[in-house]
Amino acid sequence: MIRATDLSTIGVTLEHLRRQSVQFARAQEQVSSGRRVNRPSDDPAALRIGLRETRRIESLDARTQVLDQLRSTLSHTETSTRAAHSLLVRVREIALSARQSTEPAERHVLAQELGTLRERLISIANSRNGGVALYGGTASDRLPFETAPDGTVTYVGSEEPMVASSELGDQSAVLPVGRDVFQTTAGTDVIDTFAVIADLRSTLEGAASQPATVTDPQFAQALDDLEQLGDHLLESIGTQALALEQIESAQSRFSDLKLESETLRSQALSADLPQSIVALQQAQTQTQFTMAALSKLFDTSLLNFLS
Amino acid sequence: MLSFDTSLTALRAAQIGLRVAANNQANAATPGYHRQRLHLGERAATPVHGVAVGTGVNALRIDRSVSALTQYSLNQSISQQGAQEASLETLRAVEGVFDPLSGGLTDRVSQFFHQLDQWTVNPGDLTQRRAVLQAARQMTGAFNQAADRLDTIQTSVHQEIAGTLREVNGLIQQVAELNGEISTSRGSGQEPLDLLDRRDALLEQLAGLTDARVPLRADVDDVVTLASGAVSFSTQPIALVLSTNALGEREITWKGGTTALEFASGRLAGLLQGGIDRVDAARGQLDTITRTLAQAVDQMHSAGVGLSGPVQQLTGVRAVTAVDAPLNQVIEHWPLTAGRVTIAVTAAATGERQLYAIDVDPARDTLEDIATQLSGISQVSATIDPRTRLLSLATAPGFAVDFAGGLPTVMTPSAGWTGTAAGHVSGRPTGSVNGEWTLTVVQGGRVGVDADVRAEVHDASGTLLGTVQLGSSYLPGKPIVIAQGVELRFDAGTLGTGETSTWDVIPTPDEVGLWPALGLRSFFQGDSAGNLAVRDDLWNDPRQLAAGTTARPGDNSIARRLAALRDAGLPELRGQSATVALDGLTVEVGAETAAASWSVDQATALSTSLRQQRDSVSGVDLNEELANMLTYQRMFQAASRFLRAADENLQELMTLVR
């Protein structure tokens, strides 16, 4: 038969009290922190899931922020390219008007407007966003189009576009090569936006002194070139719009993935508050019972009856 | 008078019984006390008128209530508990170092990658470059701090071991002295119960600290074994000492012995195996993760170019241990493989960039050999500082170097080239194999004028990569994509049929891993978690940070690769990324801590149960002692009453005589 001595009874009771205190403290910590896992050893398996999802969330957040910046830059580029296209449409209208115009004064006005439009196009081609040249490729720190004293415009940017990381499927040009946007080719001929407009203006200004047999083919060539440049700009706009659409699609996908990861992380690491509160109450009650039992332990001792 | 004698024995026995009960009550709370029992024996009968009459009671002996088996099991359990508690204490400290829930290391690593991500969008922005460096510095600071904390834990464990050893030696001394006293006492025919109690209590303490055991033998009970029986003592104490072996490892031996003692259990075992070994392992794992991440970053960064472009002077930040021994013997921690290392030399005046390669075999070549080879490159000189054993590179005025590889700016025509059209290569090689490409003019003529002028391009293995049309449909100067990101263009002029021209295509400029190992153009300096830091020259001049392989501010080719390291599996980390490996280490330590905590709970429960069992045999039950007290009290009262009755009988007899 086991003998229950005073010392052993107290020892066992104190041991129970210690364990209950630990459980009580743990439940209290969960309720106060809102976390089920407060240190790695609380639940290593849950922590593994929680950390995995945390890394995913961090990665998604970082990529989303990068996409935000890319979208801003691309949006500026697309807007600028659209503006350039609108200007080019107006240039073509002027070319059409000029072809039919016989009034020197009207031609002079149209030539003046062409000059203005060309300046605005050069300005667009040298657009910056946050100090970064939009059409300079990787040479983003300087103006990509230089105007010589004789009015000739030369591309001095990089031949390499700045590309985004692989979020957009293929490597999309965030900062395109300006030469590729404002120039196109027809066979071996290079059609340059600024040169075409300059030539058109010269034709317009010299039309009064030239016979129609000379100016008509020049106007026709200019219209043809402008049409090709317009189509080329539309292609660029399409590419940029597609990249923007891909960014928005990626951001939407990331948002969904982030929500999913947050849910999984919460399930792994967060405390189920009702459950924690019940556990806290249970631990508290059990501790109180143990203390009460300890205080009652010697009430029935023989010592009490000897007096 | 027989009646008086009989009562007197009862009175004496009752008095002894009361003293034993009183002693038990007095020691009810004394640790290590074993309740004592009085053994009474009937005295031999004496014949009275032919009848054998009893003569009373004898107090035969007092002994201790002891269960040797239970005590042995309890000591074993206490010993296990001691080991597990020590192990748990260390693990909890290590767990705190890696606790991701309180921020710290993993947060810093994530923040570094976050800034790298941002950098890919603004590679030329100086503010962003500063942010990258700041995040890198915070990350290296976190690595340093984690290593420092682990080192501090290690030092604490060593101090704890030294303190525990002192305690153990003190206990051994006391037990040995007690064994001597017990032996002396027994020699004089007395069982020294108090000394035995004291020895049991000391052995219990010793069991908590070591794997001390008293073997269960009937003939001997004073031999104490330690270290799984490797050493023992009885009345002559032994002294354990902490020493350092030939490998620099701390070990415990006994004074006079040379063999390292292995403790199977006890606090010492926990501190040695669960403590020092675990902290060493965690430190090693942290170093591996740190070094692997640094190697990957440095390898990529060394292949890049800062905003200022190629440089005229470069100095390494990682020294070799000897300049005249093979590299793989003098470069610690950084894996090197035999291969080719390419250096690009750019002439500032013309912008012409040429590639030069040196072959490096780390098993054969010394740093001096490398310096000699590098100095053999046109316009480049390499020197080794004999004091610091660091390699430096310098170029002649008007020239600069970089390690970006890629492509030269011009082709190298073969002997006998008669064409007047200058050929240029450009682009960014996307392949993985370095080699020489050859252009062969299949049909010569005037570039961009004559019909059907064309050329073929082959790689080093002779594989046809593409045919380029350079005839009337070609606009001179316009780049043509060949393959793998490589473009070529020809200026106006002529090309001769059958003539060839070559150029190097170097997507992997450092096949050896030489530059990061020597700390040339690296991102970090240092080679372990304890000393990793951002290079001072980068910190002082963020423009030197390499976002791309060119100096163009929009070139983010290196920055993108660095940012991609966040999720990239690294072979040295078993295919895991650095962040995942760090998380894995955290979870691993957490799981070990949880398991150790569970083991401590189990061992504590077992010890509690065994203590209960021991106390059920050896412990003092006050009710029981009070009952014994009543028994002896009544015995004393009864004997006294009998004496009075005997006295009255004798008085009656006296009356008859008078």
Q: Residue A272 CB: number of other CB atoms within 10 A? A: 12
Q: Among all chains, which residue has been given the structure tokens 């013309």? A: B350
Residue of A nearest to B608 (CA): A12
pLDDT of residue B1: 60
| Residue A190: pLDDT over 70 | yes
Q: How far is A132 from chain B (nearest CA, A)?
A: 8
Distance CA B88, CA B592 (A): 9
Distance CA A40, CA A47 (A): 6
Question: Is B151 part of the contact surface with chain A (CB cutoff 8 Å)?
Answer: no
- Asked whether A7 and B616 are in contact (CB, 8 A), the reply is no
- Residues 287-306 in A contacting B (C-alpha not used; CB under 8 Å): 301-303, 306
Q: Which of A91, A150, A146 is nearest to A122 (CA)?
A: A146
Q: What is the DSSP string of B352-396?
A: -EEEEEEEE-TTT-BHHHHHHHHHTSTTEEEEE-TTT--EEEEE-
Q: Looking at beta carbons, which residues of chain A come within 8 Å of B29?
A: 7
Would you place residue A173 in the very low, low, confident or very high pLDDT band (cuts 50, 70, 90)? low
- DSSP β-bridge partners for residue B244: B250
Distance CA A128, CA A123 (A): 10
pLDDT of residue B247: 81
Distance CA B405, CA B435 (A): 11
Whether B548 sits inside 8 A of A137 (CB atoms) is no
Pick from B113, B475, B626: CB nearest A190: B475
- Asked whether B202 and B78 are in contact (CB, 8 A), the reply is no
pLDDT of residue A307: 64
- Asked whether A250 and A66 are in contact (CB, 8 A), the reply is no
Q: Region A135-146: what's the mean pLDDT?
A: 91
Query: In angstroms, how far is the first alpha carbon of chain B from the final one?
Result: 20
Task: Calculate the dihedral angle through the C-alpha atoms of B544, B547, B553, B555, rounding to the nearest 10 degrees.
Answer: 150
Q: Region A111-122: what's the mean pLDDT?
A: 94
Question: Is A141 part of the contact surface with chain B (CB cutoff 8 Å)?
Answer: yes
Whether A3 sits inside 8 A of B95 (CB atoms) is no
Whether A48 sits inside 8 A of B597 (CB atoms) is no
Q: 3-state class of B41 per DSSP?
A: strand
Distance CA B312, CA B303 (A): 16
pTM of the model: 0.87
CB-facing half-sphere around the CA of B615: CA atoms within 13 A: 23
- Residues 220-279 in A contacting B (C-alpha not used; CB under 8 Å): none
Question: Across chain A, what does the average pLDDT equal?
Answer: 88
Crossing angle for the helix pair A212-269 and A193-206, nearest 10 degrees? 150
| Element of type H or E holding A145 | strand A145-147
| Residue A48: pLDDT over 60 | yes
Whether B120 sits inside 8 A of A66 (CB atoms) is yes
Whether B100 sits inside 8 A of A54 (CB atoms) is yes
Mutate to test the interface with A, among B126, B308, B552 (most CBs of A within 10 A): B552
Q: Which stretches of chain B drop beneath a pLDDT of 70?
A: 1-2, 102-103, 218
pLDDT of residue B314: 94
% pLDDT > 70, chain B: 99
| Residue A292: pLDDT over 70 | yes
Q: Looking at beta carbons, which residues of chain B come within 8 Å of A38?
A: 101
Quote the distance between the C-alpha of residue A55 and its chain's center: 18
Distance CA B437, CA B464 (A): 10
pLDDT of residue B48: 85
- Asked whether A6 and A298 are in contact (CB, 8 A), the reply is yes
Whether A44 sits inside 8 A of B114 (CB atoms) is no
- Residues 569-608 in B contacting A (C-alpha not used; CB under 8 Å): 579-580, 583, 586-591, 593-594, 597, 604, 608
According to DSSP, residue A134 is labeled T
Residue of B nearest to A73 (CA): B121
Residue of B nearest to A138 (CA): B554
pLDDT of residue A166: 59
Q: Looking at beta carbons, which residues of chain A come within 8 Å of B114?
A: 58, 61-62, 65
Residue of A nearest to B94 (CA): A40
Distance CA B177, CA B25 (A): 28
Residue of A nearest to B29 (CA): A7
Q: How far is B402 from chain A (nearest CA, A)?
A: 19
Helix H, strand E, coil C: the string for B551-577 is: CCCCCCHHHHHHHHCCCCCEHHHCCEC
Q: How far is B594 from chain A (nearest CA, A)?
A: 5
Q: Looking at beta carbons, which residues of chain B come within 8 Å of A141?
A: 124, 552-554
Would you place residue A167 in the very low, low, confident or very high pLDDT band (cuts 50, 70, 90)? low
pLDDT of residue B414: 86
Q: Which of B94, B150, B138, B112 is nearest to B532 (CA)?
A: B138
Question: Is A33 part of the contact surface with chain B (CB cutoff 8 Å)?
Answer: no
Q: 3-state class of A211 per DSSP?
A: coil
Would you place residue A107 in the very low, low, confident or very high pLDDT band (cuts 50, 70, 90)? confident
| Residue A171: pLDDT over 70 | no
- DSSP β-bridge partners for residue B483: B486
Distance CA A134, CA A240 (A): 12
- Asked whether B230 and B259 are in contact (CB, 8 A), the reply is yes
Residue of A nearest to B119 (CA): A66
Q: Looking at beta carbons, which residues of chain B come within 8 Å of A183?
A: none
pLDDT of residue A168: 55
Whether B117 sits inside 8 A of A301 (CB atoms) is no
Quote the distance between the C-alpha of residue A220 and its chain's center: 44
- Asked whether B413 and B498 are in contact (CB, 8 A), the reply is no
